Amino acid sequence: MGEIAGVRRTFVKAAMDAPFLSREDEHALAVRWKDQKDERALHALAAAHMRLVIAIAARFRHYGLPMADLIQEGHVGLLEAGARFEPEREVRFSTYATWWIRASIQDYILRNWSIVRGGTSSAQKALFFNLRRLRARLAQSAAADPSIDIHASIAEAVGVSKADVALMEVRMSGSDMSLNAPLTESDGNGASERMDFLVDTAPLPDEAVGDAIDSERRVGWLRSAMTVLSEREMNILRARRLSDESATLEALGDRLGISKERVRQIESRAMEKLKRALLERHPNVQTAVF
């Protein structure tokens, strides 16, 4: 570990000691890379801006990830910026590279901060990286004015819902925890795990099978009882009661060439006939269907 730390210190020192580039030298290196694909020019351009990578990486050190990894990801963003930089636009490379470095580091943090994937949209990413800062700033205002809703203010500033803000606060309040972690410090084999206390809300296997059988039986009863209906009554009931999207009385009236009040009367009469047929054939199960 001491050797690795020494290498890191040497790397950081070399980056901080790298000479600054003048605007003309920076432009010349960028042109050589773009026009001639001179990798030495790209290396020199990147080496001169490693101190920028370290400075940006330091802003994200409080997310609990190794600083060396943040710098490495920032270096990937720096190389991406170098590959895409267009020197003819007369923009300083550091200005252009800052976005790519920050984006690369932020993507790394979102991938590794938690095993639960989060922050997939631009608004969620903005919430993740700005929540602490916005909460600290608004807490001072809320202390002077208790009427300020901190969650609502953060949601409005970032462009998300209050529920998203509350959920993100919960996620950032603690680290991931294994369901197999013991609840006590005991090293014995009998220690309970968090998994042991999770409640499964799904029905038991015998209940699921019973529900499936009852459902099939009710469908059979209904199909048998519907034979007492006329074709028009059956079509109205299917459109009004047995479809995912129930048709309106007016729409059915237009389709059948009758008034919507007449459709309602036919539907009501059909329901009474259907109920009567079911009760006649299965007098002890009326509550299972109606």
Q: What is the CA radius of gyration of the chain?
A: 34
Token digits for 182? 């013991």
How many angstroms separate the Cα of 224 from the Cα of each of 108, 216, 227? 62, 12, 6
The helix-helix angle for 50-58 and 67-84 (nearest 10°) equals: 130
User: Across the chain, what does the average pLDDT equal?
Assistant: 80
Amino acid making up residue 156: E
Phi/psi of residue 163, nearest 5 degrees: -65, -40
**Could you tell me which residues come within 8 angstroms of residue 233 by beta carbon, excluding any fewer than 6 positions away?**
266, 267, 269, 270, 273
Return the residue matching tokens 């590279």: 97
pTM beyond cutoff 0.95: no
Stretch 170-183: mean pLDDT, rounded?
69
CB 88 within 8 A of CB 59: no
Evaluate if residue 29 carries a pLDDT over 80.
yes
The average pLDDT across 30-54 equals: 88
pLDDT tens-place string over residues 204-251 = 888 888 888 878 888 888 787 788 888 888 888 888 887 888 888 888
pLDDT exceeds cutoff 80 at 106 = yes
What average pLDDT does range 185-208 have in this prediction? 73
pLDDT of residue 76 exceeding 90: yes
DSSP 8-state code for residue 113? S
The count of residues in the chain is 290
pLDDT greater than 70 at residue 133: yes
Q: Is 64 left (phi over 0), alpha (psi -120 to 50) or beta?
A: left
What token pair was written down for 198? 């999770």
Residue 6 has pLDDT above 70, yes or no: no
Using 50, 70 and 90 to split pLDDT, how confident is the model at 78?
very high
